Chain A
C-alpha cells in the first residue's frame, strides 16, 4: 500500500503536466489499484521506462532540430524561401498543431518559408511548380510505424513538380519507422530515435522478464477488449508520452480502455477519453 502510494506520487511528479488529462496522486493511485499485486509489480517496473516529454523540452528539441535543418539547407544553397513546410494527416491532426507551433516559435514566416496542407494537392502542385527546386519539410511529433506517413507522402509526391529534397521533422521516431521513411526517399530529421529495446512491452526488450511481459501484454489485450493493436497501433508498444498527447502506438495499459470504460488509463489519449457533454 505504501509502495503504491509512493509510486503514485512519483507518477504525479512525472506526468503531472500532461495536458489532456489531469494526473494527480489520486488518479495515479486509482490507476494502479485496478491491478493485482503481480500485475502491479510488472507495471511499476514498466512505467519507469515510459518517458515523458514536457512542453519545454518538446519545443526546445524541435526548434533546435529545425534550426539545424535550415542551416543545412542554407549550406546546400537552398534559399529559405524555397523551403515548404507541409502538414500531413486529417485536419486537426497533431501535424497541423506542430507545424503551427514550429512556424510561430521559429519565426518561419519571417524567414520567408512557405506552408501548405498536405491534403491540398493543388496548392502543393502550384507552389512547387512556381519554385522549381528546394526542400519539402513534413512536420509531426512522432512516427510509430511510419506506414501512414509513407502512404500519404507517396500520394502527394506525385503532385510535386521540380527537384525537391524531402525531410520529415519530428521529435521522436521509432526505429522501424526510421527505416521505412528513409527508404521512401525522405530523410527523417528527428530529435530522438525510440529503439525497440527501450520499450518494456516490446518483444525485443529485456527490461521485463518474459513472465512479466506476458502478464502486461495479456492485460493490454483485456483492456483493449481483445481488439488488435492493444499494444498500440502497429503493435509498436511505444513508451513515450508527449505533454500534448499520448501517441496511439502506446499500449492500452497506460492509455486505459476506450472512453475509459472498464479500465482507467494513466495518460489516456484525447481520443481515449469519454466524449465531453455539451450543455
Chain B
C-alpha cells in the first residue's frame, strides 16, 4: 500500500522567499549525485560567461540540516564553474534562491531525473534508490516508475530484478574494490539460468537451493570460468535450440549438470557446441531459401543460350545436395536416432 500520496511526495519545491549571496564553499554538491560529469566544452563556455558577467540566474538551494552549507538542487554546473574560477583566483558571489528542504522521495526523484543527463550510475545504487522510492510511494508499475524517475522502462525492469537478489549477493555488487566487485548485471543475467535450473534440473535446484546455485555461479565467475556475464545467454540459447529435440535436450541437460557441478568448466566450452550447431543449421536453411528464391527469380527455364553451362552448374549443385542429404540420413543423424529411441521407450 502506498505510504504517501504521489502528489504530496513529489510536490514542487517550496520557496522560502529568501535570496542569499554565497561563495562556492557555502554550497554542497547534490549529496545524492556527487558525480559532476559534464561535457567540458559547454562548461568552459559557461565559466567564461560567469567570469565576465557573474552568475546571472540564481541557483536553487536548501539549507542542509544542522550545517552551514546549502545543498544544491539546481545549479551544479554553475557551482562547478565558480569553484574552478576560485581556483584561478576569482571569487564569485553566487545568488541562490533558498527553498524548503525537499522530502526524501522528492530528493530521490530529482536525483533520478538529473542523473539521466550524466554518466549513468552503477545499477545497484540505482536499484537501491528506486527501491526506496517504491517503498515510499507504494508505486510498483514500471511505466509509472519510469515516468516518475526518468529511467527508461527496461532500466526499471532491470532494477526490479535486482530487488529479488538476496542481500548476501547484493553486497558483492557493492564491494568498494572494483576488482572484487561482482557487476550488477551478473545477477540479471544469472537469474534466467537459475530459473532454468529449477525447471530442468529440479533435483540439483533442491539440493543446492537458489542461494547455493548463485554461490556456485559466483565461484565460477571468480575462477574466471564465466568470462563475460552475457555468456549466460548462451546457456539459455542452447536450451532453446535443443528443447524440441529429445536427444539434444538430454545432451544439454548433461552439459548443464556438469557445468553446475564442476567449477572449472568454462561456459563457452560447455555450451558453444549447442549454440554453434544451431547457428550452422540456421545459416544453411537461410542459404537454401536464398538459393531457391534467386534461382526462381531468374526464370531460366526457356532460355536458349549457354544451356549446357547452366545444366553443368545445376548438376554440380545437385551432386553437392545429394551428398549432403546422404550424410544427413546416415546413422549419425541425431534426429533419426532420437526419434527411434523415443518411440521404443514411450510405446
Contacts and interface: CB of A to CB of B under 8 A. Distances in A.
A161 B129 contact: yes
Residue of A119, A122, A158, A167 ringed by the most chain B CB atoms within 10 A: A158
Contacts, number: 101
A259 interface: no
Contact of A163 (B68, B71, B125): B71
B35 interface: yes
Contact of B35 (A125, A134, A158): A158
Contacts of A78: 65-66
Interface in B91-135: 101-102, 104, 107-108, 121, 125, 128-129, 132
Nearest to B86: A183
B327 interface: no
B28 A121 contact: no
Contacts of B171: 122
B120 to A, nearest CB: 12
B101 A133 contact: yes
Interface stretch (A33-41, A53-61, A69-77, A242-250): A69-77
A164 B121 CA distance: 20
B161 interface: no
A241 to B, nearest CB: 29
B69 A157 contact: no
Contacts of A162: 104, 107
Nearest to B103: A132
A187 interface: yes
B83 A183 contact: yes
A157 B167 CA distance: 20
A185 B31 contact: yes
Contact of A161 (B62, B66, B104, B121): B104
A160 B32 contact: yes
The bracket for how many chain A residues form the interface is: 35 or more
A89 B71 CA distance: 25
Contact of B66 (A73, A155, A186): A73
A157 B34 contact: yes
B25 interface: yes
Interface string A138-166: 00000000000000111101111111111
B174 interface: yes
B257 to A, nearest CB: 34
A106 B253 CA distance: 62
Interface in B68-93: 68-69, 71, 83
Interface string A120-141: 0110010001001111000000
A77 B68 CA distance: 13
A240 B254 CA distance: 66
B108 A161 contact: yes
A76 B170 contact: no
B61 to A, nearest CB: 12
Given A76-B65, A78-B65, A166-B28, A161 B34 contact: no
B198 to A, nearest CB: 27
Nearest to A163: B101
A184 interface: yes
B34 A77 contact: no
A187 B83 contact: no
A187 B104 contact: no
Contact of B34 (A75, A154, A163): A154
A78 B29 CA distance: 20
A4 interface: no
Contact of A165 (B25, B67, B128, B129): B67
B102 A76 contact: no
A182 B34 contact: no
B35 A185 contact: no
Given A158-B34, A161-B108, A185 B29 contact: yes
Interface in B175-208: 176
A133 B101 CA distance: 10
Q: Sorted from nearest, which 8 A-B pairs have the closest CB atoms?
A: A185-B28, A165-B67, A76-B66, A78-B66, A165-B64, A73-B66, A121-B174, A157-B34
9 contacts: A75-B66, A78-B65, A82-B65, A121-B174, A135-B65, A158-B34, A162-B107, A184-B29, A185-B31
Given A122-B167, A162-B104, 15 more contacts: A74-B66, A76-B65, A76-B67, A78-B65, A121-B174, A129-B132, A134-B65, A135-B65, A135-B66, A135-B67, A158-B33, A158-B35, A161-B128, A165-B67, A186-B28
